[in-house]
Structure 1
Amino acid sequence: MSTVVKTQKRDKKENAKLRNSGFIPAIVYGYEVESQSIAVSEKDFTKTLREVGRNGVMKLDIDGKSVNVVLSDYQTNVLKGQMIHADFLAINMKEELEVNVAVNVTGTSVGVSEGGMLQQPNRELTVTVKPSDIPDSIDIDVSGMAIGDTLTVADIREKVDYPITNEDDYTLVTVSAPRVEEETEDTEEEPETTTTTEE
């Protein structure tokens, strides 16, 4: 388990001031915790997040009480790439919960080798798992996929170690045919003709 991340209570009016002083405005709610606005040290939180991963369990020190939490949601500043707000869900380590886990595609599909295009319309799966067993990602081997093939939850449900809550028709990967450049009149160059008149 990672080190405990210290928190402090915050006033929502002070969000900008907190960010400028190295803190991330946040909210914590869930198991045996009254929903409240807090702030966490950006430095300590970022370090802990690197240690446990996006779905990992971390500990928050809230008024001297150590609380097990997972990062439920967050917002980032697109331009600066900094986290500007975080939502923490307090959890019971003995009970299962639903979490979103990244899908990691492995292997090179037959279809891609033949010029096809691999697409991932959905890059996460929702699984039910105990906090201590939350995976960083779920690997999916696509090496057997040919052009025109589609991989859905139904195809992998029995191969994954965790119950998946998404529907069977939830599409994860497709291999489409290579794009063919359409010839148009605009792209076809017609030979120039000149008209001359005899005097």
Structure 2
Amino acid sequence: MAVILKAEKREDLSKSVTKQIRKNGNVPSVVYGKDKASKTITVNSVDLTKTVRDEGRNAIISLAVENDEPVNVMLHDYQLEPLRDDVLHADFYIVNMAEEMDVEVPLHLDGEAKGVKDGGVLQQPLFELQVRAKPADIPEQISADISDLDIGDTISIADLPESSAYEFLEDHETTIATVVPPDTVEETDEAPADEEAEPDLVGGSENDDEK
């Protein structure tokens, strides 16, 4: 059953009103979907944060907008205030419960690898996996047991349990965990300084007070 999140309509999109909405503890938001007209709304910041924390990033939310019938949505995107981590804006996408969709699901490694106990170093190249599933079948997370992983062993997507409810979209030979000898890690960390590439900047949009 979808968790209920109440929302109010937002018609005045001026900066001054948007600022006041946030000051009052609410989040300016947009709800939209395939062949659906977008609506500007506000939701309570505490309620939104609690919903995502308790139900997960891919939770199905029954969005109850005042005077309208509730609609099933997912939190598609959001903007955070960089210093306080306050939610500045949220996008909700209306989902069709009968249609499959592509989402990213957190990958969690269970257990302690035998190779780590023997001095090896665990490496996890991926922390999320792309899956395709109907909204109600989207798993909260994908788990992989690494307890039997020795030094030099790897686990790929192909080693994960299969499910009839969803499918993995990445190449099944993609490595999700490996244990490498400690000297391998040391050699990697000792690359010549002049050969080190500049780090990529994580792209981020400017805060948009008019949303």
Instruction: Quickly name the TM-score band, shorter chain normalised.
Output: 0.7 to 0.9
After TM superposition, the runs of 4+ consecutive aligned structure 1 residues lying more than 4 A away are 179-182
Paired position in structure 2 for 1:136:
140
Measure the CA separation in 1 of the matches of 2:123 and 2:76.
Answer: 27
Counterpart amino acid of residue 162 in structure 2: V
| Closer/same/farther in 2, CA of residues 12 and 37 from structure 1, 3 Å limit | farther
Paired position in structure 2 for 1:160:
162
Counterpart amino acid of residue 108 in structure 2: N
Secondary structure in structure 1 of the residue aligned to 2:155: strand
5+ residue gaps, structure 1: 183-199
Conservation of the 8 A alpha-carbon contact between 1:59 and 1:69: yes
Q: CA deviation at 1:32?
A: 4.9
**Which is further off, 25-34 or 91-100?**
25-34
Measure the CA separation in 2 of the matches of 1:93 and 1:181.
Answer: 49
Q: TM-score, normalised by structure 2?
A: 0.75
Q: CA deviation at 1:29?
A: 1.7
Alignment of 1:6-155 (within 5 A): 6-10=7-11, 11=13, 13=15, 14-62=17-65, 64-155=68-159
Q: CA deviation at 1:42?
A: 0.8
Counterpart amino acid of residue 71 in structure 2: V
Q: CA deviation at 1:31?
A: 3.9
Paired position in structure 1 for 2:197:
none
Q: CA deviation at 1:149?
A: 2.5
Paired position in structure 2 for 1:5:
6
- Cα RMSD (Å): 2.3
How many pairs align? 180
**Which is further off, 100-109 or 9-18?**
9-18
Measure the CA separation in 1 of the matches of 2:51 and 2:27.
Answer: 14
Counterpart amino acid of residue 164 in structure 1: F
Measure the CA separation in 2 of the matches of 1:83 and 1:171.
Answer: 34
Conservation of the 8 A alpha-carbon contact between 1:2 and 1:51: no
Q: Larger radius of gyration, structure 1 or 2?
A: 1
Conservation of the 8 A alpha-carbon contact between 2:32 and 2:94: yes
Q: CA deviation at 1:4?
A: 3.6
Conservation of the 8 A alpha-carbon contact between 1:7 and 1:41: no
| Closer/same/farther in 2, CA of residues 125 and 7 from structure 1, 3 Å limit | farther
Conservation of the 8 A alpha-carbon contact between 1:7 and 1:60: no
Measure the CA separation in 2 of the matches of 1:93 and 1:172.
Answer: 30
Measure the CA separation in 1 of the matches of 2:39 and 2:127.
Answer: 31
Conservation of the 8 A alpha-carbon contact between 2:63 and 2:72: yes
Secondary structure in structure 1 of the residue aligned to 2:176: strand
Paired position in structure 2 for 1:196:
none
**Which is further off, 27-36 or 99-108?**
27-36
Secondary structure in structure 1 of the residue aligned to 2:80: strand
Q: CA deviation at 1:48?
A: 2.7
Conservation of the 8 A alpha-carbon contact between 2:4 and 2:64: no
Q: Give the % identical residues.
A: 39
